[in-house]
Every structure is written in structure tokens, then in C-alpha cells.
Amino acid sequence: MAFASRYPDVEIPELSVPQFVLGGAAERADRPALIDGLSGETITHGELAFYVERVAAALHARGLRKGDVVAVFSPNTIWYPVVFHGIAAAGCVISPVNALYTPEEIAFQLKDSGAKVLVTVSPFLDRALAATEKSPVDEVIVMDGAEGHASLRDLITADAPAVQVDIDPAEDLITLPYSSGTTGLPKGVMLTHRNLVANVTQSRPLAGVDEGNERIIAVLPFFHIYGLTVLMNQGLQWGGAVVTLPRFDLEQFLRVVQDQKITRAFVAPPIVLALAKHPMVDQFDLSSLRSITSGAAPLDESLAQAAQDRLRKGASEGVSVGQGYGMTELSPVSHTTPEVGLEPAGAGPTPKGTVGYALPNTECRLIDPATGEDAAPGERGELWVRGPQVMKGYLNNPQATAETLDGEGWLHTGDVAIVDDEGRYTVVDRVKELIKYKGYQVAPAELEAVLLNNPQIADAAVIGVLDKESGEELPKAFVVRAPGSEISEDDIKAYMAEHVAPHKKIRLVEFIDQVPKSMAGKILRKDLKNR
Ligand code: AYL
């Protein structure tokens, strides 16, 4: 039994992402598209379209062809979307790399994705070059310039002939972000132009867009699918301005919302927590905000309510705090809470603890993991999703694809949800291995592999444990010492910190004699959780 969306279907334009997102640029050529939240530097819609065309031409002139992968390793800047759309308009595929990655993590992604070019920024050049020693690429481009490397200015001012690359939106990939999905190591998620065009189009009926006048704060990273689709591409497609910040700092965030008259904030739970609790919030005028949407990890219902109540006490009477739900494999949105007044016909206000309704064109099932059958009405089940935003599959990994995406097009999310009579979903649990730390993915299998690389460690298993105070899941390692080893908890933490990005750090260690495993050798994570 499949639940249809409560919203009527929308038509998905048959366009490439650059055509779709930049299509309105000529009409608003002189209006700001991208604003640097710190310096105020601005790129207009007209300039953006021009730069994108130039970057595409320059990449083509350098020999890049349709389907070639270009890795982008950069924090949020106003130039990131120029590079993203330039690569896409050349028919190439962007693999976005986490800005905090270590050289080893970057090298893994470069190798796995088969990236030919790496685009980065000068402060990241050391890590980029250390990575390309292990996984060579043809060229490293440094956006803001560095001795011996082409810069973005070089690309834009090169006298390359214009290119018109034929893109088949339903088949051709635009991006290859990495996700561990329900199990194992990070995998390249193949997303097509149509996946992203669809996701922005599907989200619109619930958003109540004031076309051309929205101002979106882009503090969540563009290198994650949330920032890529929801902030960058949706924000630009709405025709207003996207205001970038390179990292989250509460004071900067509040100042930018106030000074730039931000209308929409798409954030993760730690930012909602700060908005609800931090004293500094009262010192700023946040009355331009119409909505705050939290996604990427569970948001506590009372926290969402507290943030909304507090902001409404200021002048922003209309502000609503809501949630979105999705996965990298869903481009990423499948569910979201609608703006007040945009609920499906006849439905009342949306309760704060829910992730709202399935988007238009999106079907859902809830499957009892024990029986594989549809859950009884009102009962919990694993959420399956089908729609135009579902990924094409994992790169070079038909087995992982088959385990996640079934023959009928259902994506098995590994999340457990319930649906109420009105069609509103609540995410109640996770049955996959994945740990979420501040909205970022932490894949236990990846950390276990790093732990096992240490000769002092005979065996290891990683799970997430809930920290009551912060509400975060903390990655915890169960470690079996190698014979004769006296490796300590601090040694292990320090060793991991050297090899993985900060959000993947091991925060708790427990030494055990043996890792509990099934007959087939699979780690029995439940047993570890129940200890
Ligand atoms: P990935 N509540 C609970 N868990 C969530 C939620 C939520 N609102 N959103 C995401 N998750 C968890 O690939 C869930 O376990 O994509 C899911 O399988 O990094 C996993 O995070 C996917 O992690 C938005 C904004 C969707 C963000 C996103 C998700 C991007 C995270 C819609 O509006």
C-alpha cells in the first residue's frame, strides 16, 4: 500500500539545472544573486549567468567533456555557485568535498569518483595537494589564485569559444555527493539534472515563495546536498539573493539576518537550539525572517516551539519554525512542513514534531521491518520513498544500489516513521548504522576501517550514543587491544583526530575483549547499544 502525496502533482521542467536555475537571470540581471555576508561583495544574476557561461567554455577548452568529474573543495563563498554551474553547464559532474576533510578523506573521494580536476581555494591548497599526491588529478584550480595554478579569473577571462553541451536531464549526472546510505563506506550518490530540478520544483507549493524578493542565508555548506539544493539552487531559482557565510558563528549569523533582511533560514538543529536558548539572540532585530526550516537530524518538538515563541516575541510575528526531512539519496527533500496557509486542502496547523507532508509527486510506504509487510495504520514502519528526486544509484556499486533502491523504484531510507490521518509524517527512529553528528554523516564502517589500520587495535566497532545534554549522537568506539598493547582512550582519540574530519572524531572509547558478531561476521550493533 502506497500513500500518495496530499498535494497535486507538479510538472517537472525538462531542463538542465543551469537552464532551470539561471533561466530568469536576464529579467533580473542587475539584482543581487549572491552576497558575501562578511564583505558584502555581490554577484548579480546577470553576472552569474555570464561567469557560468565563461567557466563552462574554459573547462571545455581544457579538454573536460560530458560526464567528467570535477571535485570542488571549498567553504561557502559567492564563487562556489559560479563554479558549480560552470561545471554543470559544461556537462561535467561536481563531486563536492567536505571543507573539513583530511587529505586521506579527500583522496578517497577523488579516487572513488574518478575526479579529473580539483577546484579549491588557496587556504585549502596544502590539504588539496597532499590529497592529490595520493590520488592524482590532471589539474588543481585555485579559485582565488595561487602560484602555478589557474584561478577562477583565468577561467572567466580566457578567450574560450562558447560551448553548447547537450544534456539529457533524466540521464546525465550533475552531482556526486558522498553518503554511506544505510550501511558501509561512503559511496558516490548519482544525482541527475532532473533529480535536482524536480526537488526544487516539488518543494515550491509548500514554500509560498515571494519570487525575486526572498533572501536566503547560506551558512550550511554547499558541499552537502542540503546546502547544494535547498540553499544554493532553490535560493537562486527563487530569483532573490543568497547570502553566504563560510562557517557558523552565532553572532555573524544573527548580524547577517538583521542587516541583510534575511527572509528564510534553512538550518540544522544546533542552530535552532542557539536561537531558542542563547542570550545574544535578543540583541538583534530578526523581524525580516518568515520561516526557519530545520533538517538533517531530529529536531525536538519543544525546542522548535521555544525558538518560534521567542522570535515571535520580537517583531517577527509571522515567523514559523518547521522541519524538512530527506537524504542525500533523495536530492535531498522528500518531506517538509508547509508555510502556514499552504497545508493540503482541509488540513489544520502542522504539529512541530513532525517533518510535515510528502512533497508533490512523492509516494511513501511504511514497512514493518520484522515482517516486510506494510505497517498497520498508525503504526511505525521503515519509510520507503518513490519519486523523481530518488537517486539513479550509487556509483560503481550495483550491490549497494540494489540493497537500497528496489526494482520498483522505492528508496529504503533506513529511517522509521509514522504517519497520522492527515498525512503528516514523524521520524521516530533509525534502523541503519548511520550516526548523525550536528547534522553531518558519520559512517561507523569508515571509522572502524581507520581504527583497524592501527596495529595496536585488534578489532573495533563504532556506534552512536545519545548525549542527553546536547541531544547529539556521539560516535563511540568499542576497541579490542592487540596482544601486548596498552593503547589508551586518549591515544585512540588523538589517532582518530589525525585521520578524520572533526565531526567524525571518536568521542567515547570502551575497551572490550571481543566485538560481538553474527555467524556471518556482521557486527551486532544492537548488542553494543544494549550494553
Ligand atoms: P543526509 N528528522 C530526523 N532525522 C532526519 C531529518 C529530520 N528532519 N532529516 C534528516 N534526517 C536524518 O544524507 C535521517 O536519518 O541528508 C536521514 O536518513 O546527510 C539522514 O538524516 C540523511 O542524512 C531538508 C533539509 C532534507 C535537509 C535534509 C536532509 C539532508 C541530510 C530536507 O529540508
Its ipTM equals 0.99
Domain boundaries, the chain: 18-25+43-166, 435-529
Spatial contact of 400 and 463, defined as CB atoms under 8 Å apart = no
Provide, for the chain, the percentages of residues in helix, strand and coil under a 3-state DSSP scheme, each rounded to the nearest 5. 30, 25, 45
What pTM does this model have? 0.98
- Residue for grid cell 542565508: 217
**SS3 state of residue 190:** strand
Q: Is 282 exposed, middle or buried (0-12, 13-18, 19+ CB in 10 A)?
A: exposed
- Residue for grid cell 590532471: 138
Distances (CA, A) of 30 to 55, 83, 130: 20, 20, 41
Rounded average pLDDT over 460-466: 97
Q: Write down the pLDDT at residue 38.
A: 97
* Residue nearest atom 26 of ligand 1, based on CA coordinates: 326
Q: Write down the pLDDT at residue 531.
A: 85
Residue spans of alpha helices (H) in 14-157: 17-22, 45-61, 80-89, 103-113, 125-134, 152-157
Q: Residue 95: beta bridge partners?
A: 71
187 close to ligand 1 (CB < 6 Angstrom): no
332 close to ligand 1 (CB < 6 Angstrom): yes
391 close to ligand 1 (CB < 6 Angstrom): no
What number does the ligand 1 atom closest to the CA of 203 have? Answer: 33
Calpha distance 44→28 (Å, rounded): 8
Nearest CA-CA partner of 242 in 224, 225, 256: 256
CA angle 498, 501, 505 (to 5 degrees): 75
pLDDT surpasses 80 at 214: yes
Rounded average pLDDT over 70-86: 98
Q: Write down the pLDDT at residue 370.
A: 87
DSSP assignment string, 340-409 = TT-SSTT--PPPTTS-BEEPTT-EEEEE-TTTSSBPPTT--EEEEEESTTS-SEETT-HHHHHHHB-TTS
174 close to ligand 1 (CB < 6 Angstrom): no
94-123 pLDDT, tens digit each = 999 999 999 999 999 999 999 999 999 999
What number does the ligand 1 atom closest to the CA of 336 have? Answer: 33
pLDDT surpasses 80 at 315: no
Distance 276 CA to ligand 1 centre (A): 21
341-396 pLDDT, tens digit each = 999 999 999 999 999 999 999 999 999 988 999 998 889 999 999 999 999 999 99
Please name the CATH architecture into which domain 18-25+43-166 falls: 3-Layer(aba) Sandwich (3.40)
Calpha distance 380→345 (Å, rounded): 25
What is the number of other CB atoms lying within 10 angstroms of the CB of residue 14?
Answer: 13
Q: Write down the pLDDT at residue 471.
A: 85
Rounded average pLDDT over 223-231: 98
Superfamily (CATH H level) for 435-529: ANL, C-terminal domain (3.30.300.30)
pLDDT surpasses 80 at 441: yes
